[in-house]
């Protein structure tokens, strides 16, 4: 082989490497040129037959060929391997992908926190259905037969005996019908009223009912201290509680419960309409007539009940100006509370 032929073989081998499209093709070229019986080792063996004067030039060309061939082979192998791996085209310097994370809805948060707080006081969580009997929602709660709250303009009736509950108070009835005293429960749940939706009203809202009935004396003072404890735990240590006389058919005496406005701490502001107080709940001592409906002896038990508005607590706690924000589930709103 002449030096010129050697150089032609060199060029051809590099062109073959460039044309190779697979790792198998590269391996075949490696065997062809560098293998035990390959072209380059064969040529090295033939060096002894080359005239002594031409040997240095032959040797130099062979060395250069081998060096270039090996370098090209390695580079091409690495390139083809990169294409075959699953991370092909993966740019580790790119920023990570963003995933929207959910947050717990403020209504759920208030319910969960309330359950925790009352759990510390020995209350367990009771449950009841959204669809109730007239007896549980009205009659057993001592509601007069033609009380305006039963009017179809206020209450969703399925038929004359069945309603979408207008309050969580029917769970009081269920609890007492199923359990002898003492009972100490809270019940969070949905309520339904034929209200027109505005900034503070919704036809579907949530209440948390509370009921404590015992065979030893329970007083209005116990009710107040319990709700005051709840208020401080939920809203912060400076929150005060006041009772205003009110009327509910199923409690006597009855009160409406206000918390000091957490925004102005009672000084008066826009949120509390300058009164310094915000109405949170209805409450009172369980009316003896209710005990009769559930088979409790009114002379042998003592108890209180309360019903709190969940949305109201959420709006105060998180500074939400319009109840509708709580139902739209706009993630831009919810994530601010996360
Ligand atoms: N159920 C009453 C309401 O919806 C609240 C309440 C509950 C009042 C328990 C007294 C006792 O307004």
Sequential DSSP letters for 63-124: HHHHHHHHHHHHHHHHHHHHHHSTTTT--TTSPPPP-PPP---HHHHHHHHHHHHHHHTT-E
User: Can you tell me which atom of ligand 1 is nearest the CA of 166?
Assistant: 4
Spacing, Cα 170 to ligand 1 middle (Å):
10
**Confidence tier at 266 by pLDDT (50, 70, 90):** confident
Spacing, Cα 100 to ligand 1 middle (Å):
39
Evaluate: CB of 212 within 6 angstroms of ligand 1: no
**Is residue 91, in this structure, part of any structural domain at all?**
no
Average pLDDT over residues 323-328: 92
CATH number at residue 243: 3.30.930.10
- Which pLDDT score, from 0 to 100, does residue 87 have? 65
Spacing, Cα 151 to ligand 1 middle (Å):
18
Residue 249 has pLDDT above 90, yes or no: yes
Evaluate: CB of 167 within 6 angstroms of ligand 1: yes
Spacing, Cα 209 to ligand 1 middle (Å):
8
Average pLDDT over residues 135-153: 94
Is 314 found in the same domain as 216? yes
Residue 204 has pLDDT above 90, yes or no: yes
Is 129 found in the same domain as 29? no
Is 227 found in the same domain as 305? yes
Distance CA(141)–CA(134), nearest Å, equals 10
Residue 93 has pLDDT above 90, yes or no: no
Contacts of 185 (CB under 8 A, 6+ apart): 123, 124, 125, 126, 171, 175, 209, 210, 211
Residue 175 has phi, psi (to 5 degrees) of -65, -45
**Confidence tier at 337 by pLDDT (50, 70, 90):** confident
Residue 302 has pLDDT above 70, yes or no: yes
Residue nearest atom 4 in ligand 1 by C-alpha distance: 167
Which of the two residues, 238 and 189, has the higher pLDDT score? 189
**Is residue 240, in this structure, part of any structural domain at all?**
yes
Is 122 found in the same domain as 75? no
Evaluate: CB of 283 within 6 angstroms of ligand 1: yes
Q: Quick one: what percent of the chain has pLDDT higher than 90?
A: 70
**Confidence tier at 85 by pLDDT (50, 70, 90):** low
Residue 183 has pLDDT above 70, yes or no: yes
Q: What is the pTM of this model?
A: 0.72
Which of the two residues, 268 and 131, has the higher pLDDT score? 131
How far is C-alpha 119 from the geometric centre of its chain's CA atoms?
Answer: 22
Is 303 found in the same domain as 224? yes
User: Can you tell me which atom of ligand 1 is nearest the CA of 254?
Assistant: 10
Residue nearest atom 7 in ligand 1 by C-alpha distance: 307
Contact 114, 187 (CB under 8 A): no
Mean pLDDT score of the chain, rounded to an integer? 92
What total number of domains does the chain contain?
Answer: 2
Evaluate: CB of 284 within 6 angstroms of ligand 1: yes
- Which pLDDT score, from 0 to 100, does residue 88 have? 62
Contact 271, 283 (CB under 8 A): no
Is 120 found in the same domain as 174? yes
Residue 1 has pLDDT above 70, yes or no: yes
Strands 302-309 and 277-286, sheet pairing = antiparallel
Q: Domain residues for 42?
A: 3-83
- Which pLDDT score, from 0 to 100, does residue 277 have? 93
Is 10 found in the same domain as 111? no
């Amino acid at each position: 082989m002449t030096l010129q032929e050697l150089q032609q073989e060199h060029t051809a081998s590099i062109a073959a490497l460039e044309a190779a499209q697979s790792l198998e093709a590269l391996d075949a070229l490696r065997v062809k040129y560098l293998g035990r019986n390959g072209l380059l080792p064969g040529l090295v063996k033939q060096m002894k037959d080359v005239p002594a004067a031409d040997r240095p030039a032959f040797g130099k060309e062979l060395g250069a060929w081998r060096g270039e061939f090996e370098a090209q082979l390695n580079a091409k192998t690495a390139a083809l391997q990169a294409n075959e791996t699953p991370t092909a085209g993966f740019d580790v310097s790119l920023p990570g992908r963003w995933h929207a994370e959910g947050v717990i809805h403020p209504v759920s948060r208030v319910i969960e926190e309330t359950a925790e707080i009352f759990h510390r006081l020995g209350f367990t969580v009771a449950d009841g259905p959204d669809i109730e009997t007239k007896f549980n929602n009205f009659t057993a709660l001592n509601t007069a037969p033609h009380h305006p709250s039963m009017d179809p303009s206020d209450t969703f009736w399925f038929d004359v005996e069945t309603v979408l509950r207008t309050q969580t108070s029917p769970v009081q009835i269920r609890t007492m019908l199923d359990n002898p005293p003492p009972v100490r429960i809270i019940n969070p749940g949905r309520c339904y009223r034929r209200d027109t939706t505005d900034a503070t009203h919704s036809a579907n809202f949530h209440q948390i009912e509370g009921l404590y009935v015992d065979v030893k004396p329970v007083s209005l003072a116990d009710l107040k201290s319990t709700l005051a404890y709840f208020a401080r735990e939920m809203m912060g240590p400076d929150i005060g509680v006041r009772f205003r006389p009110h009327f509910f058919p199923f409690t006597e005496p009855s009160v409406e419960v206000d918390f000091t406005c957490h925004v102005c701490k009672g000084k008066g502001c826009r949120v509390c309409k300058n009164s310094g107080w915000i109405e949170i709940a209805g409450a009172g001592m369980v009316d003896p007539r209710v005990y009769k409906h559930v088979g409790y002896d009114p002379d042998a038990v003592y108890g209180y009940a309360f019903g709190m508005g969940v949305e109201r607590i959420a709006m105060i706690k998180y500074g939400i100006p319009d109840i509708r924000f709580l139902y739209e589930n706009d993630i831009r709103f919810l994530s601010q509370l996360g």
